[in-house]
């Protein structure tokens, strides 16, 4: 009978297990660093590993998750650059936002907004592969259903106008937020010209 | 007996009209589905970058539209920048593997879910409307951790 401890096959298997465990531990490392916000807003990320959670809330708060569990630390801008410069350099340009205003209850622009269209076209021309999101908003007069439809109608008006100006249909999407995202907070039912708008995101 | 040709329609031409109608409807349906399935767009692509979709791999060209389950891979010299439909910006550095696992968005309510995985490499993220509307509706997984994104800018690396 073979001795269990000295059986070469068992020894091999045990070695293999140790090696693969080591590889597993060596490989599975993740690092997370929270970055400062452009406009200084509050920001936060939770990092969960198994049953343990680390919450990052300050700029450069960081966590490293490896075989020992997630550990919080403070990173430096230099650490971030050293490791993430190529990823950060590939970040797409942020959307540029324009707002056009409408005459109450209608899908017609105010005179001023009609003149803003040129600025939108030049921003679209600047982008290598532009896509345009047109978001219709209403004021707080009327119910959600009516306002969702009116917001959509306003967005479609802008989309059609952009298409007429030569922007391909495939590159423009029209959506409505109805009265869910008032620019100027008002009680329900209040007519507010600054809320009757279409926001155009050029990306 | 003869009918004015403009009023006469043979059964065959009716069938053709019907068929054309069906084709148009199908094309429209496909276009609608196509749009619904588009969740983001490649805005930046440098060096070697490929997108794997349903087992097929193709180079990630600037302007390419992305779909759920797309797998993005960058080479030694590669990097890629993606704008998602909810305005999230994801960009990966060299030797990275990023999977767009799940993406849903109701554009009226902004309720949705966006889960992605970074299997290896480096990723920079600016979260968008999904995370802004509902904290924890956006996650990024690495092989050993799950990030719950409450907003907004961070970097993450996997298997470094």
- Nearest chain A residue to B151 by CA distance is A43
Whole-angstrom distance, CA of residue A102 vs CA of residue B124: 38
Distance of CA A201 to the CA centre of its chain: 13
> Residue A46 is nearest to which of B144, B147, B152, comparing CB atoms?
B147
- Supply angle C-alpha B153, B156, B157, rounded to 5: 160
Judge: A30–B107 Cβ closer than 8 Å, yes or no. Answer: no
Residues of B in contact with A92 (CB under 8 A): 43-44, 81-83, 89, 91
A40: left (phi over 0), alpha (psi -120 to 50) or beta: left
| A7 pLDDT above the threshold of 60 | no
| Residue bearing the bigger pLDDT, A83 or A8 | A83
Residue listed under structure tokens 């009918």:
B3
Total number of residues shown for chain B: 160
Q: What pairing do the DSSP bridges indicate for beta strands B112-126 and B138-142?
A: parallel
DSSP bridge partners of B112: B105
Q: Which chain B residue has its CA at the smallest distance from A84's CA?
A: B122
Q: How far is B121 from chain A (nearest CA, A)?
A: 9
Output the pLDDT for position A111: 82
What residue of A is the nearest CA neighbor of B93?
A: A87
Closest chain B residue to the Cα of A23, Cα to Cα:
B159
Distance between CA B157 and CA A55 in Å, rounded?
17
Q: Are B73 and B97 a contacting pair, CB within 8 Å?
A: yes
Query: Which of A72-76, A180-184, B3-7, B73-77 is the least confident region?
Result: B3-7
B159: left (phi over 0), alpha (psi -120 to 50) or beta: left
Which strands sit side by side in the sheet containing A96-101, from one edge to the other?
A: A96-101, A197-202, A132-137, A172-178
- Nearest CA of chain B to the CA of A188: how many Å? 17
Which pLDDT value is given to residue B26? 45
Structure letter (DSSP) for residue A169: G
What is the pLDDT, as a whole number, of residue A13?
A: 57
Query: In whole angstroms, what is the distance from residue B143 CA to residue B140 CA?
Result: 10
Are B80 and B52 within 8 A, CB to CB?
no
Give me the total of CB pairs closer than 8 Å, taking one residue from chain A and one from chain B. 162
Q: Residue A201 and residue B87: Cβ atoms within 8 Å?
A: yes
Residue A53, both tokens: 């959670």
Bigger pLDDT: A8 or A128? Answer: A128
Most confident range (mean pLDDT) of A52-56, A103-107, B8-12 is A52-56
Instruction: Note if the pTM is more than 0.95.
Output: no
Band (pLDDT 50/70/90 cuts) for residue A64 is: very high
Q: Are B103 and B114 in contact (CB under 8 A)?
A: yes
Question: What distances in angstroms separate CA B15 from CA B18, B20, B21, B79, one per listed residue?
Answer: 5, 8, 10, 53
**Complex ipTM:** 0.82
Task: Answer whether B105 touches A (CB < 8 Å).
Answer: no
From first to last of the 160 residues of chain B, give the pLDDT tens digit.
333 443 444 444 444 444 554 444 444 443 333 444 799 999 999 999 999 999 999 999 999 999 999 999 999 999 999 999 999 999 999 999 999 999 999 999 999 999 999 999 999 999 999 999 998 899 999 999 999 998 889 999 998 6
| Most A CBs within 10 Å, among B91, B145, B146, to test the A interface | B145
The torsion angles phi and psi of B13, rounded to 5 degrees, stand at -65, -30
Structure tokens at B118: 């970074």
B102: buried, middle or exposed (CB in 10 Å: 19+, 13-18, 0-12)?
Answer: middle
| CB under 8 A, 24+ apart: contacts of B28-32 | none
> E strands within chain A?
30-34, 44-49, 52-56, 61-66, 69-74, 96-101, 132-137, 172-178, 197-202
CB A107 within 8 A of CB A157: yes
B141 interfacial to chain A (CB closer than 8 Å)? no
Closest CA to A29 of A52, A77, A1, A63: A63
Asked if A33 and A80 touch (Cβ cutoff 8 Å), the reply is yes
């Amino acid at each position: 009978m073979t001795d269990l401890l000295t059986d070469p096959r068992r020894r091999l298997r045990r070695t293999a297990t140790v090696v693969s465990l080591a590889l597993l531990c060596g490989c599975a490392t993740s690092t997370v660093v929270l970055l400062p916000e452009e406009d200084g807003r509050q920001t936060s990320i939770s990092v969960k590993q198994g049953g343990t959670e680390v919450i990052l809330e300050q700029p450069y708060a960081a966590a490293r998750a490896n075989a020992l569990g997630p550990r919080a630390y403070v990173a430096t801008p230099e650490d971030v650059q050293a490791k993430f410069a190529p990823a950060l350099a590939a970040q797409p340009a942020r959307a540029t936002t324009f707002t056009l205003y409408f005459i109450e209850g209608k899908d017609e622009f105010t005179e001023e907004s009609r003149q803003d269209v040129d600025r939108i076209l030049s921003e679209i021309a600047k982008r290598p592969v532009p896509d345009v999101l047109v978001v219709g908003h209403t004021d707080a007069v009327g119910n959600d259903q009516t306002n969702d439809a009116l917001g959509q109608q306003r967005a479609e008006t802008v989309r059609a106008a952009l298409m007429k100006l030569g922007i391909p249909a495939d590159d423009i999407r029209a959506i409505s937020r109805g009265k869910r995202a008032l620019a100027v907070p008002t009680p329900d039912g209040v007519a507010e010209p600054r809320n009757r708008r279409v926001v155009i995101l050029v990306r | 007996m003869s009918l004015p040709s403009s009023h006469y329609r043979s059964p065959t031409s009716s069938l053709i009209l019907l068929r054309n109608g069906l084709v148009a409807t199908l094309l429209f349906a496909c276009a609608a589905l196509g749009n619904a399935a588009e969740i983001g767009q490649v805005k930046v692509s440098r060096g070697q970058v490929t997108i794997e979709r349903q087992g097929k791999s193709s180079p990630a060209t600037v302007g390419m539209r992305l779909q759920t389950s797309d797998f993005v891979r960058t080479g030694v010299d590669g990097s890629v920048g993606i704008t998602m439909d909810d305005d999230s910006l994801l960009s990966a550095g060299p030797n990275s593997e990023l999977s767009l696992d799940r993406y849903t968005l109701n554009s009226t309510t902004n309720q949705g879910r966006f889960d992605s995985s970074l299997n290896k490499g480096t990723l920079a993220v600016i979260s968008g409307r999904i995370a802004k509307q509902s904290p924890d509706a956006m996650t990024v997984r690495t092989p050993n951790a799950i990030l719950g994104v409450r907003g907004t800018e961070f970097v993450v690396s996997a298997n470094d």
